[in-house]
Structure 1
């Protein structure tokens, strides 16, 4: 079987026969604990799934978890690979397309990000309203056919965003809204780059998510994204930037708010809303 997406779908269906997920979830840095709350139908390491990349970054376990979360059938990607790990913007192409082929109608993405707004301190959560691709690359480079020209207006689905805001309010979680800017990494940004990003209209900065959004929209999935704010961006705070600090803040401060919002959102989805 030459198509890695078809091969991965077939393998998943052998391990979870008859299971059809409605929602795809991607867990970012420090948010892996949410995967342990899924009532699993099957769990497969990325290394067993054809075309799935094995992450090399702390906080990204690299496993596909299928099951129910808050009553909703989900396919959860516990960890992602990044452009800076492989030099490929399409490194998450097979996982995202596998979720779409399995039946996911929407993709909810999470990430850890740096804040460009003084009032959005570490430990905050942000609903992504739009993005800026600062890398100059696309996961659709080399894609054939006219459908590669993906319309990115309302890429972050307005109806899903409204429902996530309602879920946050019901969970007593303050959910900021803002624009996410994607830098290639793996080095953190310079203060000059952050000043430029702020002038471009960015509210948070990170090294992921945008490729998956493009791939999901290409696959006709609806998309929403949540950021855990783990630090102030370069030049805005006194603390040195490090991945260990990102992991610490994401796991201890932001993860609980994200968990509560996702549970409320998915409980609403399981009742038939949306």
Structure 2
């Protein structure tokens, strides 16, 4: 079965919009885990617009064996209370770190690494994360075909950026976008890399992607999941996503 990692960033956004401590992303993580999700994802940014550095360590304490996935830009330098992604990972030792080329000016992650351009800079950082016994996943665009360079420097998985797929699916014409995702997933598998996927996945489009790439290892979902949870409740929404993934994994 494809694993579900629940991204709790949006809970922190709501908390930070008011100040104080509520709603608490730690409690959201507890509820999602109790509902059966396989892990929790956070993306601490240097500007700490949502998940803060102290949230990362507090969430780590409630995982009870579930996987922790920490996302971030490995090139972003330390500043203020943000010590840098490597320092956060060194202190927390998550199961997985996902490297994403985002900047402060982006509302959300909106593109993957350019593998040929960025692989040299990524090389020492991948080695540093691997030394901490973290699985290393690298965010790439759908359609990226040359992934052997990532495998060569010790990357374990890729995460396919699924924003364009979600947009095309909403418009009712997703064949080309699905084909691009499948091509990249196949290229990853061919060089021994695992495959994750994330961004703008929701209950309306997840089955389509999961059926097209049944060997996905993990999907990371946050924005849509918490939007849906406003109406159905977090426990019920997590269970609905798990049901979609379970059905996608079932033999015909």
Structure (1 or 2) with the greater strand fraction? 1
The structure that is helix-richer by fraction is 2
- Which structure carries more relative contact order (alpha carbon 8 Å, separation 6+)? 1
TM-score, normalized by length of structure 1?
Answer: 0.31
TM-score (normalised: structure 2): 0.33
